[in-house]
Amino acid sequence: MEGNWDTVIKPKEKLLSVDFKELWHYRDLCLLFVKRNIVVQYKQTILGPLWYLIQPLLTVVMYMVVFGGIAGISTDGVPQPLFYLGGICMWQYFADCLNSTGNTFVTNANIFGKVYFPRLVMPIADVISNLLRFSIQFSLFVAVYVVYAIVGTVACPNIYALLTPVLIVLIAGLALGFGILISSMTTKYRDLQILFTFIVQLWMYATPIVYPLSTVVGKTVAGFDLYTIMSLNPVTPVIETFKFALLGAGEFIGWGWLAYSAIFMIVLLSLGIVVFNKVQKSFMDTV
């Protein structure tokens, strides 16, 4: 007798086949993973979520001493705490999402081996849960901004501040795309985890976090324009636009570079999903 089934589990016939309806059906599971990620991260800690504030504050102090004081790197006239906090907010969200999604298969192998659910739910939950940290750190940025406004020394936001939600989506999409791609590769080659951690650390210095992009204008490396090379980093247009929009620092990098980051994100996500779908069929044999 044929029965009517509520759920049908079948293999993915195409590499790029993503059942978004199925992902939506498992939204409650995604929210449970989000809650788990938030609770587990600072479980059995004394200060708990206060570390979300302590970490960027200590980082800002270090940047002020090393880059602002010793190295004397310009912040385009923006108060150093504001300039560094603006960069830290966006970069930390990108790095957190990248690190968590980049270990999806390895850290969740036990769960994947016991029960079926769309595997993309896990990295998506990581990206969403990291929004809490970003929200707290962004609130700290706003609080410092208000303090400078009261004192009378503050940078001026502009109309591009309306792009902030779009910039957050771009940075999340880039992190998710890179993360699931790297996670797929680390199932077989564990050395990539060590290399990946090192690359993320170096990546920050190739992105205008502790310095404005204007400081590299007119400079060359091996005959190549350094401004163009750094702008090819898909994270650079997003970070630079974020700073310009809220702090008025530097110049607007341009719609062309923002479009480049958006197209890069779409292509990267598509490639990541293709590789992710291919690896998830047999990753239990290699993890």
Averaged confidence pLDDT in the chain: 82
Tokens 């001026």 belong to which residue? Answer: 156
pLDDT for position 9: 60
Ranking 23-27, 96-100, 122-126, 129-133 by mean pLDDT, the lowest is 23-27
d(C-alpha 234, C-alpha 128), whole Å: 21
Please list the helix, strand and coil fractions of the chain in percent, rounded to the nearest 5, in that order.
70, 0, 30
Residue 41's alpha-carbon distances to 44, 57, 94, 189, 192, in angstroms, are: 9, 19, 17, 26, 24
The answer on pLDDT for 3 being more than 70 is: no
pLDDT category of residue 56 using cuts at 50, 70 and 90: confident
The answer on pLDDT for 131 being more than 80 is: yes
d(C-alpha 129, C-alpha 31), whole Å: 9
Mean pLDDT, rounded, for 226-238: 90
Kind plus residue range of the DSSP H or E element containing 213: none
With a pLDDT cut of 90, the percent of the chain lying above it is 20
pLDDT category of residue 267 using cuts at 50, 70 and 90: very high
pLDDT category of residue 1 using cuts at 50, 70 and 90: very low
Ranking 7-11, 64-68, 168-172, 267-271 by mean pLDDT, the lowest is 7-11
Q: State residue 220 phi and psi, 5-degree precision.
A: -130, 155
CB atoms within 10 A of CB 263: 11
The answer on pLDDT for 73 being more than 50 is: yes
The token duo for 98 is: 């990248």
Mean pLDDT, rounded, for 194-203: 84
List the beta bridge partners of residue 276: none
